[in-house]
Structure 1
Amino acid sequence: MTHLVVLQHLEREGPGRFGEEARRRGWAVTVCRPDLGEPIPRLDPDQALLVLGGPMGVGDIGSPSFPWLEAEVALLRECLARERPVVGLCLGAQLLAFAAGGQVVPLTVGEPPVRAYEVGWGLVDWTRPEGQELVLAGLGAGLPALHWHGDRIRLPAAATLLGSTPLCAEQMFRIGHHAHGLQFHVEVTDAAVEVWLEEDGDYVRQALGPDGVEQVRAGRARWGEEGERLGRRLINNLLDQVGALLGGDPLR
């Protein structure tokens, strides 16, 4: 049986729609919480890795507050070296890029540079034709997605850029055909978004202003249905790739 191992770093940021779609295929899904002291697992040949988001960052590697970050990077380097399937979301994408030799820097705009945050709904434009990328099949020119970050990935030489936004160029990438990073969120359910807004409202208002929470809700009303439809397609494209790499599922 194909097995998806999930590294979760915060109670509110779970596997969401990734877990739903993996279980729908009959896959096992195991969630590991290193933030709660659970050890970083070693992967078996039938296991793939999903690394979720969180408020910590690459700059926190080595901090006594997050002692498990170094172990996660070591696991990601092992996955890259052995060409094990891995998907990183937001923080997970940043750690994946870092493990491959990239950098993560504060997101800025303008000259001189001013600190910026990308929060709320916005369109991710694909940088490669879907005919050249199996994971972009059926997704057209882009995907409306939820963004929730203030950093930018500087991609390693081994990475291929797949998606961008005007504010942050590095939105989706792959390394080989076994590792994919998404700076945006396709996994988050509507119910989870409300929890994020309640628990992380100060961050949203810092990014968008006093009415930031209302802006995010308005964006969900406008883009949420299409975002879920295309987001689930992207999730299933990625899971198709994972299944094919593990030998359990043929590419559809």
Structure 2
Amino acid sequence: MGAMSEPQVLILQHVPWERPGRILQNLEDLGLGYQILSIVDRKKPDLPDFKDVAGLVIMGGPMGALDWDEHPGLKVESQLARAAVSVGKPTLGVCLGHQIIGTALGAKLQRGEAPEIGFAPIKRVDRHDFFSMWDKQISVLHWHNDVIGVPEGAQVLARTHGTKVQAFRVGSALGMQFHLEVTASLLEEWLDEPSMVKDLKSVGLSKSQLRDQFAEFNPTLQPLAEQVFSGFAARCNTYAKALAASHAE
């Protein structure tokens, strides 16, 4: 097992272009250390000591959450997510990460009716600190095919017509099917990646339309992303301080 000199947030990334984006900004604002690893294809990855992990982030990616045979590291990620929630470590999943956490906690995974790509509104199902600043609906960036059911004991926070669980919380975990982490520069990386844009025509979108949508909705999304990710970072910071205090005893 690798060693962490101090409590840090562990970020699991599956492909180079699905990076943490805005999530990092909020961790850095609090001076929180983090480690970004890609373990998706490793059956026995070298991971930091679990007790030193102050928070867990699982990013998006093109694979399926249960493609364990092709990508054995996904099974490890599922086990990590379940373990993190069981001991109350702050845990955040985006898109594929949302599905990994959800299925680890008993949700069913299935193919969506059609790819959900582009900016479209999600409807708030239940109010929670994570999403307290928006009322009934807000347009967010979608980019996925698979969907999950409701994890065991979860509170569903948001939905769309085609995706009944757009966001959920259960214990210390928050899952979001949509992408609040994407900045303008990160969007450009996505638009340059052939595997990301291959389905645009099927949903009637062009790259320029996506850029226009981002410019239109980002002023509203920026404060929501700040609320969600700063809240997550604060939870990680509290957990890190508790870990550091226990290590000092």
TM-score by length of 1: 0.84
Q: Report the CA distance between 1:45 and its aligned residue.
A: 4.7
Residue of structure 2 aligned with 1:15, choices 13, 20, 30: 20
Q: Report the CA distance between 1:184 and its aligned residue.
A: 0.5
Distance 1:155 1:42, change over 3 A: farther
Residue of structure 1 aligned with 2:198, choices 186, 196, 202: 202
Aligned 8 A contact 2:54 2:236 in 1 = no
Separation in structure 2 between the aligned mates of residue 190 and residue 224 of structure 1, nearest angstrom: 9
Residue of structure 1 aligned with 2:97, choices 85, 92, 99: 92
Q: Report the CA distance between 1:239 and its aligned residue.
A: 2.5
1:81 aligns to 2:86 (yes or no): yes
Aligned 8 A contact 1:3 1:29 in 2 = yes
Separation in structure 2 between the aligned mates of residue 54 and residue 45 of structure 1, nearest angstrom: 26
Aligned to 2:192, the other structure's residue is in SS state: helix
Partner of 1:113: none
Partner of 1:167: 162
Q: Residues 170-189 of structure 1: matches in 2 within 5 Å?
A: 170-176=165-171, 178-189=172-183
TM-score by length of 2: 0.85
Amino acid of the structure 2 residue aligned with 1:127: V
Aligned 8 A contact 2:22 2:183 in 1 = yes
Residue of structure 2 aligned with 1:44, choices 16, 41, 51: 51
Residue of structure 2 aligned with 1:70, choices 67, 70, 75: 75
Aligned to 1:203, the other structure's residue is in SS state: coil
Aligned to 1:149, the other structure's residue is in SS state: strand
Separation in structure 2 between the aligned mates of residue 149 and residue 46 of structure 1, nearest angstrom: 28
Q: Report the CA distance between 1:43 and its aligned residue.
A: 2.1
Q: C-alpha deviations, 1:70-101, integer Å up to 9, x for none?
A: 11111112112222221111000100011011
Aligned to 1:60, the other structure's residue is in SS state: coil
Q: Residues 227-246 of structure 1: matches in 2 within 5 Å?
A: 227-246=221-240
Distance 1:36 1:190, change over 3 A: farther
1:55 aligns to 2:62 (yes or no): yes
Aligned to 2:198, the other structure's residue is in SS state: helix
1:28 aligns to 2:33 (yes or no): yes
Q: Report the CA distance between 1:124 and its aligned residue.
A: 2.1
Q: C-alpha deviations, 1:191-223, integer Å up to 9, x for none?
A: 1111111212213223x13x4323322211211
Residue of structure 2 aligned with 1:216, choices 189, 206, 210: 210
Gap runs ≥5 in structure 2: 1-5, 243-249
The percent of aligned pairs where both chains have the same amino acid is 27
Q: Report the CA distance between 1:247 and its aligned residue.
A: 5.0
Distance 1:124 1:8, change over 3 A: same
Q: Report the CA distance between 1:245 and its aligned residue.
A: 4.8
Q: C-alpha deviations, 1:156-177, integer Å up to 9, x for none?
A: 231110111233121110112x
Distance 1:245 1:160, change over 3 A: farther
Amino acid of the structure 1 residue aligned with 2:11: V
Separation in structure 2 between the aligned mates of residue 143 and residue 44 of structure 1, nearest angstrom: 37
Aligned to 2:162, the other structure's residue is in SS state: coil
